[in-house]
Amino acid sequence: MAPAPPWHVSAWFNAPQPLSLEGLRGRVIVLHAFQMLCPGCVSHSVPQAERVHRLLAADDVAVVGLHTVFEHHAAMTPVALQAFLHEYRVTHTVGVDAARPGEAVPATMHAYGMQGTPTLCLIDRTGRLRLQHFGRLDDMVIGAEIMALVHERGDNAAATLGKSRSDGIAGCAPSGCAVNRDERHS
Amino acid sequence: MAPAPPWHVSAWFNAPQPLSLEGLRGRVIVLHAFQMLCPGCVSHSVPQAERVHRLLAADDVAVVGLHTVFEHHAAMTPVALQAFLHEYRVTHTVGVDAARPGEAVPATMHAYGMQGTPTLCLIDRTGRLRLQHFGRLDDMVIGAEIMALVHERGDNAAATLGKSRSDGIAGCAPSGCAVNRDERHS
Amino acid sequence: MAPAPPWHVSAWFNAPQPLSLEGLRGRVIVLHAFQMLCPGCVSHSVPQAERVHRLLAADDVAVVGLHTVFEHHAAMTPVALQAFLHEYRVTHTVGVDAARPGEAVPATMHAYGMQGTPTLCLIDRTGRLRLQHFGRLDDMVIGAEIMALVHERGDNAAATLGKSRSDGIAGCAPSGCAVNRDERHS
Amino acid sequence: MAPAPPWHVSAWFNAPQPLSLEGLRGRVIVLHAFQMLCPGCVSHSVPQAERVHRLLAADDVAVVGLHTVFEHHAAMTPVALQAFLHEYRVTHTVGVDAARPGEAVPATMHAYGMQGTPTLCLIDRTGRLRLQHFGRLDDMVIGAEIMALVHERGDNAAATLGKSRSDGIAGCAPSGCAVNRDERHS
């Protein structure tokens, strides 16, 4: 199983210093990609990530938000994100996915092959990407899958979690915003 | 009873041409003041205004949104508002409350003495401000109060609706964002 | 327009004395038919009727619940209804629709031709049935339609409200429970 | 740590044959005590138990409902429960907690010392009661705690889950119904 791709982040919020996959090795990482103007992210997945942070995060689990802007770039600037995080009382760490010159889709989103927002990634203690889901996930399933990774021990790490799943969203639906073909190729 | 203060709007969205109180005379006006980064507006009052527009608006009732930015001005620009209205599928008319040089609170918000967002104003067929409420209102109450104004006839217009009510919000609470003392006086 | 059919009620709860259409003449009546084991009634329409009672009922508006049991008769007895009303904190008046010997559908439900539960009926100040709806209605629409009837004056009573509408429910769906053909004819 | 007390059940629904702790040994058991006229059970914990059943139950996890009637006994009879399970589309197994002559609180509820409904109990693969909670629990926490028990291996079974916790409900509150002192001693 391949390791999770490295992150390309141009700014961090709610973090004393930049985070990296290497720096979090040994912990289960909940990576949550969102956009501040994606309705399904605002109503569902951002508060859900905050719940993971408050209910489950500790020595074993780290929650990292990733602002993966692939549309409305002039509206979703870092200063706007900062105001958003303040008003929505987001306390977990959030990074700004680094823009790629001339491209709509930012660098980390591109490296992971994400189809839109929200996307949830679970990375195990050894740095492998074990689940990637575009769309909504139940709280109960997230709690269970995180805890399954927390309790893995060495060789018995089963690859039972599905990688790269999707809710099949097109455009911006209540559950999320999909990357259009044009945006992917721009 | 005093007439509703005129509007000062620097840009209109979802409107073929600028709106005014005079132009809407004869109709009941539902004026809905909000900010795109006010959580209580996004989750509750913007979709509620859209429901009024879809369920009750017609010849008799006009719904007008007003983007009254009094904080995070660099984040809530007209281009950001345009993206917001697009992603949240807002179809009713929205005006940008005109900034006042050197002041945090914009012109129309100041003229109405609004305490924060969301604020709902009901203006009767003759242009008088009959209800102004800061915070949340039940759908059932809004439906009833609008219809009470629709059915008023001439002299029997009772002033039963309360003007300038408030939920007593401080800062940004789940139900809305209040203007701070500093912002009011800046 | 025909007058609303009279009610056939075998027991009353939350009422000092039996109610009747005649006794309520002059007021707008919100008649709310439900079953205590109809999920859409419990989650949506019973609390909605209670909101009407608390927000809009007064001298002008009366809210009356009607327990129209057309299935599971052994489960939804008057003693069970009494426990239900107590536990769900229902404070408006509720009548038990009178059973008809050998028939599944009770008497008032039959007289009104109701298709299932929940059904909402609006009866105007003069006793005419102005709206009958099977399924869910928005709070905003209910508030508006009640207030439209409250403000009617004599001859200008327009028949704008639709009679006998339905959400097209079959069996028990999230929004309500429909009478089956067998139950109607039994 | 003491084993979970045995169950005393007078009737089973959605089960081909009676269940017992012994028969489920080796699996994690989610025991969910409720009453069909407890509002917090109907709106929250019964659908939550059904979600556990649909999302997490398999060879490793068994969901068992327990109808622990301690009030309104004449209303919450087995025939009423059967209608309730049918209308609410409950598909997991549910047992009727056996009445004790002359006592309000039934036998299993008494043996576990439950304070009211809903109460959630988690029993590990070896039959020990590891968590007992009166009131509401987040889906995310339930998912995590179940999976923690699923992944326990032999001696490393940590007793990290809290036994006999409570939301401190009195009477029937939105989150549940508490046993009154009189009912406990009756």
Q: Kindly list the residues from chain B whose CB atom is less than 8 angstroms away from the CB atom of residue C146.
A: 144
What are φ and ψ of residue D41, in 5° steps? -70, -45
pLDDT at B185 over 60: no
Chain B's closest residue to A174, CA to CA, is B88
For residues C105-117, average pLDDT: 98
CB-based contact (8 Å) between C72 and chain B?
no
Chain B residues 73-112 within an 8 A CB cutoff of chain A: 74-77, 79-80, 82-84, 86-88
Chain B's closest residue to A79, CA to CA, is B75
For residue D32, what are the β-bridge partners?
D65, D120
Six-digit token pair at D19? 């269940």
CA terminus-to-terminus distance, chain D? 30
Which of B95, B117, B105 has the alpha carbon at shortest distance from B42? B117
Q: From the CB of residue D170, how many other CB atoms can be counted at a distance below 10 Å?
A: 9
pLDDT at A100 over 80: yes
**Among the partner residues D138, D146, D152, nearest to A144 by beta-carbon distance:** D146
User: Read out DSSP for chain B?
Assistant: -PBPPPP-EEEEES-SS---TTTTTTSEEEEEEE-TT-HHIIIIIHHHHHHHHHHT-SSSEEEEEEE---S-TTTS-HHHHHHHHHHTT--SEEEEEPP-TT-SS-HHHHHHT--EESEEEEE-TTSBEEEEEES---HHHHHHHHHHHHT--GGG----SPSSEE----SEETTEEEPPHHHHH-
What are φ and ψ of residue D26, in 5° steps? 100, -15
Q: Are the CB atoms for D93 and D13 separated by under 8 Å?
A: yes
Q: Are the CB atoms for D123 and D129 separated by under 8 Å?
A: yes
Q: What is the model's pLDDT at position B186?
A: 41
pLDDT at C31 over 50: yes
Q: Assign D182 a pLDDT band (cuts: 50, 70, 90).
A: low
* A80/B76 touch (CB, cutoff 8 Å), yes or no: yes
Chain A's closest residue to B85, CA to CA, is A37
DSSP structure class, residue A44: I
CB-based contact (8 Å) between C172 and chain D?
yes
For residues B99-103, average pLDDT: 97
Q: What is the model's pLDDT at position A172?
A: 78
Chains that touch C (3 or more CB pairs under 8 A): B, D
pLDDT at B162 over 80: no
Mutation pick from B84, B86, B87 vs chain A, by most beta carbons of A within 10 Å, is B87
For residues A120-132, average pLDDT: 97
Q: Are the CB atoms for A83 and A110 separated by under 8 Å?
A: no
Identify each DSSP E strand in D52-173 by its residue range: 61-67, 93-97, 116-117, 119-123, 129-134, 165-166, 172-173
* A151/D146 touch (CB, cutoff 8 Å), yes or no: no
- C34 min Cα distance to partner chain D (Å): 14
Q: What is the model's pLDDT at position A170?
A: 76
Q: Assign C155 a pLDDT band (cuts: 50, 70, 90).
A: very low
- 3-state SS assignment for residue D101: coil
Better-predicted residue by pLDDT, A140 or B2: A140
pLDDT at D138 over 60: yes
For residues A22-29, average pLDDT: 96
DSSP percent split of chain D into helix, strand, coil, nearest 5: 30, 25, 45
Query: Interface pTM (ipTM) of the complex?
Result: 0.87
Question: Going by beta carbons, is chain A in contact with chain C, meaning 3 or more pairs sit under 8 Å apart?
Answer: no
For residues B83-89, average pLDDT: 97
**Among the partner residues D43, D74, D84, nearest to C37 by beta-carbon distance:** D84
Identify each DSSP E strand in A22-87 by its residue range: 28-34, 61-67
Q: How far apart are CA A145 and CA B103, in angstroms?
A: 50
What are φ and ψ of residue C26, in 5° steps? 100, -15
- B17 min Cα distance to partner chain A (Å): 24
Percent of chain D with pLDDT over 70: 89
Q: What is the model's pLDDT at position C160?
A: 44
The Cα-based distances of C162 to B43, B139, C116, C121, C133 in angstroms read: 31, 21, 17, 11, 8
Q: Kindly list the residues from chain B whose CB atom is less than 8 angstroms away from the CB atom of residue A86.
A: 72
Chain D residues 108-167 within an 8 A CB cutoff of chain A: 138-148, 150-152
Better-predicted residue by pLDDT, B157 or A121: A121
Q: What is the model's pLDDT at position B175?
A: 78
Q: Kindly list the residues from chain C whose CB atom is less than 8 angstroms away from the CB atom of residue D80.
A: 37, 72, 74-76, 80
- Phi-psi sector, D105: left (phi>0), alpha (psi -120 to 50), beta: beta
Q: Are the CB atoms for A91 and A53 separated by under 8 Å?
A: yes
The Cα-based distances of C152 to B152, C140, C155, C160 in angstroms read: 10, 19, 8, 12
- A80 min Cα distance to partner chain D (Å): 30
* D147/A142 touch (CB, cutoff 8 Å), yes or no: no
Q: Are the CB atoms for A22 and A68 separated by under 8 Å?
A: no
Q: Assign A185 a pLDDT band (cuts: 50, 70, 90).
A: very low
Q: Assign B176 a pLDDT band (cuts: 50, 70, 90).
A: confident
Tens-place pLDDT, residues D76-131: 999 999 999 999 999 999 999 999 999 999 999 999 999 999 999 999 999 999 99
Q: From the CB of residue D171, how many other CB atoms can be counted at a distance below 10 Å?
A: 11
- C147 min Cα distance to partner chain B (Å): 5
Q: Assign A184 a pLDDT band (cuts: 50, 70, 90).
A: low
Q: How far apart are CA C20 and CA C22, in angstroms?
A: 5
**Among the partner residues C71, C87, C172, nearest to D37 by beta-carbon distance:** C87
Q: What is the model's pLDDT at position A32?
A: 98
For residue A12, what are the β-bridge partners?
A95
Q: Are the CB atoms for B54 and B60 separated by under 8 Å?
A: no
Q: Are the CB atoms for D7 and D66 separated by under 8 Å?
A: yes
pLDDT at B11 over 70: yes
Q: What is the model's pLDDT at position C90?
A: 98
